[in-house]
Amino acid sequence: MAISKLAGLIPPIELFFWIAPLGRAIRLFLGAFQPSSLRKFSYRKFKVACLWMGPESFHLVALAAVTVAIALTIQCCIELQKYQAQDLSGAVISIGLLREIGPLTVSLAWCARVAARIAAETQAYYDGHKIEEFAQTFVLPNYLATVAMSIPLGTYGLVIGFITGALVAPMLGVSSTSIFFHSARDGIQMRDIIVYFIKLILVNPTIGFFAGCAAGATSNHSNNAAPSNAVTATFIVGFFANLIITYAAYLAR
């Protein structure tokens, strides 16, 4: 009943503009994995995409991981000192980075960068191409590059953030770096690692890439709103998707 009332308040044309990019993204995703798309796979486009998504993004991932880890370490150590439990900060920080902080900050920041560039390239490339041809020649190599680069970048960001926390923690009351490592080892569960890589390798990159494709393909070519629309969609959908994964992993029975 509430949904019908809400739909009545939204003009049909506005509802169409909200749903159209999602439908376009799903259609592109399905079209990218057709046999014809596999036959037309361009290794050159794959390599070019891997270059700017991977090596050219290391500075962003490193800076984001270091600053986020320092901020989280400061907050955790200061609060745990009130209860004389600062030596447990390794577990708190590592769990926070793995479960939520890493995916919602470092990962989505990189995915927003991917979304913005893909939106701009899609806007230029999609014009004059049918959606099936676009899915075959553009989507598959660039999407596979996005997923491929998310693996080393996700690992790299996790290691950089964890090492940063371990080095900063002794300056904030933790007994030693070894105590930090032991606490982190005791606190981390295999489920935390699995959830981390599901978010960073499958969920967030897929959202960012296809948000860029949908924004570029459905935008008005007379303006440059596609990248900003792609970034906005990446963060909105990414926040909700990460919430759903967290609920499914830790609360659902």
Q: What is the pLDDT of residues 32-45, one digit of tens each?
A: 667 766 677 778 88
pLDDT at position 20 is 61
pLDDT tier at 3, thresholds 50, 70, 90: very low
pLDDT at position 6 is 45
C-alpha 143/C-alpha 149 separation (Å) is 10
Copy the structure tokens of residue 247: 């609920």
Contact in structure between 211 and 222 (CB atoms under 8 Å): no
Q: 174: which residues sit within 8 A by CB, 6+ positions away?
A: 77, 86, 87, 89, 90, 180
Contact in structure between 185 and 197 (CB atoms under 8 Å): no
C-alpha 54/C-alpha 41 separation (Å) is 20
For 75-143, the DSSP string reads HHHHHHHTTT-GGGHHHHHHHHIIIIIHIIIIIHHHHHHHHHHHHHHHHHHHTTS-HHHHIIIIIHHHH
pLDDT at position 31 is 66
pLDDT at position 239 is 95
Say whether pLDDT at 158 is over 70. Answer: yes
Q: What is the pLDDT of residues 160-197, one digit of tens each?
A: 999 999 999 999 888 888 999 898 888 888 999 999 99
> What DSSP element (H or E) covers 49?
helix 43-53
Could you identify the residue written with the tokens 């447990």?
Answer: 88
Neighbours of 174 (CB within 10 A): 26
Say whether pLDDT at 30 is over 80. Answer: no
pLDDT at position 223 is 65
pLDDT tier at 1, thresholds 50, 70, 90: very low
Q: What is the pLDDT of residues 112-146, one digit of tens each?
A: 999 999 998 888 776 655 677 777 778 888 999 99
Say whether pLDDT at 16 is over 50. Answer: no
Over residues 82-87, the mean pLDDT reads: 86
pLDDT tier at 2, thresholds 50, 70, 90: very low
pLDDT at position 140 is 85
pLDDT tier at 236, thresholds 50, 70, 90: very high
C-alpha 119/C-alpha 114 separation (Å) is 8
Could you identify the residue written with the tokens 């926070």?
Answer: 96
Over residues 94-117, the mean pLDDT reads: 92
